[in-house]
Amino acid sequence: MRIVYLNGDYLPETVAKVSVFDRGFLMADGVYEVTSVLGGKLIDFAGHVKRLERSLSEMNMRQPDTMGDLLAIHREMVTRNDLVDGLIYLQVTRGNPGDRDFHYPSADTAPTLVLFTQSKPGFANAPLAQRGARVISVPDMRWGRRDIKTVQLLYPSMAKMMAHEAGVDDAWMVQDDHVTEGTSNNAYIVNDGRIITRALNHDILHGITRAAILRFATEAQMDVEERSFTLDEAKQADEAFFTSASAFVMPVVEIDGTILGGGKPGPVATRLREIYIAESLKSAI
């Protein structure tokens, strides 16, 4: 049985309980992070904590008192769950004010901090990465602050179901003819070896994997251009791929039924995936 973390305690997953008045439950008033673990070590941990601090601050949400202990808590979760390869999910909500009220509670309401692990043995060698993902496009119907990693995941969840019903692997979201991002990942195209991905603003999540990939690509003398691209441009691109803490770098071989790169993962995506996994393992803590 998994051991989860709840507000200072390590508990069996069936024992840990959160109040029905918790604002995460009633209002989706919470933020989260997903950190990958390879060989028992945390990938890009500092980046995830930094983004968590930013999400909390943008939401005017109190930091958990244990903010400074997050590395130790993550490590303890790895140990207690014998986690080798997989993910650590962390969520902070505005806590339990004892009733339902649209207004934020006073600052003395403690935030709720929850962590749990998901074991995914060997997930760095996911078969999908060899085959390449197929995606459909869907309109982006999310709210306007997608740079904050909130737990309001209903629309991404609906979009994943649309992809599932269409028999493909995922969906890319489109606003004003331009791709914003994937349901749970950042989107890229490649043309003549040049990597193109949307610039950072409120429209997309500032992916930790994205930051690492752009850094590695630049170090490897690859051309990077941060700008929006249209769905049509994506369908005509040499290659496409997406990135996230759980997918690393995932080649895309089909968009809305249009086949890219002869239906096989492209060289740039394949190389970036290799570089990302190798470099992340080197700096894992």
Residues tagged active-site:
149
Question: Is residue 186 near ligand PDD by the rule CB under 6 A?
Answer: yes
Site for ligand PDD in 155-184 (CB under 6 A): 181, 184
Question: Is residue 280 near ligand PDD by the rule CB under 6 A?
Answer: no
**Which one of the spans 8-16, 109-117, 126-134, 244-252 is the region binding ligand PDD (CB under 6 A)?**
244-252
**Which residue, 268, 270, 271, 241, is CA-closest to 253?**
241
Q: Which CB, 104 or 155, lies closer to ligand PDD?
A: 155
Sign of CA dihedral 285, 34, 205, 209: positive
Question: Is residue 245 near ligand PDD by the rule CB under 6 A?
Answer: yes
Question: Is residue 133 near ligand PDD by the rule CB under 6 A?
Answer: no
Give the HSE-up count for residue 201: Cα atoms under 13 Å, Cβ half-sphere.
9
Q: Are 202 and 144 in contact (CB under 8 A)?
A: yes
The residue count for binding ligand PDD (CB under 6 A) is 14
Question: Is residue 243 near ligand PDD by the rule CB under 6 A?
Answer: yes
Q: Which CB, 70 or 205, lies closer to ligand PDD?
A: 205
- One residue of 160, 178, 210, 273 binding ligand PDD per CB under 6 A: 210
Q: Are 173 and 139 in contact (CB under 8 A)?
A: yes
Can you point out the beta strands (E) in 59-149? 86-93, 112-119, 133-139
Question: Is residue 34 near ligand PDD by the rule CB under 6 A?
Answer: yes
- One residue of 96, 137, 152, 244 binding ligand PDD per CB under 6 A: 244
- Specify the 3-state DSSP secondary structure of 9: strand
Extract the tokens encoding 62.
Answer: 């109190």
User: What letter does residue 47 receive in the DSSP assignment?
Assistant: H
Phi, psi dihedral angles at 56 (to 5 degrees): -60, -45
- One residue of 117, 185, 270, 280 binding ligand PDD per CB under 6 A: 185
Extract the tokens encoding 241.
Answer: 């791929």
Lateral strand order in the sheet of 30-38: 9-12, 3-6, 112-119, 86-93, 30-38, 41-42
Question: Is residue 140 near ligand PDD by the rule CB under 6 A?
Answer: no
Question: Is residue 208 near ligand PDD by the rule CB under 6 A?
Answer: yes
Q: How far apart are CA 33 and CA 149, in angstroms?
A: 7
Q: Which CB, 42 or 97, lies closer to ligand PDD?
A: 42
Q: Which CB, 90 or 253, lies closer to ligand PDD?
A: 90
Question: Is residue 137 near ligand PDD by the rule CB under 6 A?
Answer: no
Q: How far apart are CA 236 and CA 254, in angstroms?
A: 11
**Which one of the spans 3-11, 119-127, 200-208, 273-281 is the region binding ligand PDD (CB under 6 A)?**
200-208
Q: Which CB, 43 or 237, lies closer to ligand PDD?
A: 43
Q: How far apart are CA 172 and CA 179, in angstroms?
A: 7
Residues at the interface with ligand PDD (CB under 6 A): 34, 181, 184-186, 205, 207-210, 243-246
